Amino acid sequence: MLDHSFTLQAVLDLKAAVSSLGTKVDRLIEDVGKHGDKIDTIRNQISFVKGATWVIGGLLAILIAAAAIYVRLQPH
């Protein structure tokens, strides 16, 4: 007669390992979702900084052009 306790113990150990793995996978999915939110926030901030840089650069170019025209129109 064969002893089935070894097989039963192996199955119970496997069940515990799979359950632990499932919990860890759920935690990993949650962490990845949080990182995705952080990346979206950073992407929006970078987009804002790019836009501000273009606006400031354009205003600076207009200011330099106006200063050059002013200096050129001054009598010497």
- What pLDDT does 26 receive? 93
- For 20-62, the DSSP string reads HHHHHHHHHHHHHHHHHHHHHHHHHHHHHHHHHHHHHHHHHHH
Mean pLDDT by 10 residues, the chain (76 residues): 77 92 93 91 95 97 96 86
**Structural domain count of the chain:** 1
φ/ψ of residue 73, rounded to 5: -80, -10
Residue 58 belongs to domain spanning: 1-76
d(CA 15, CA 7) in angstroms, rounded, equals: 12
- What pLDDT does 7 receive? 84
pTM, 2 dp: 0.56
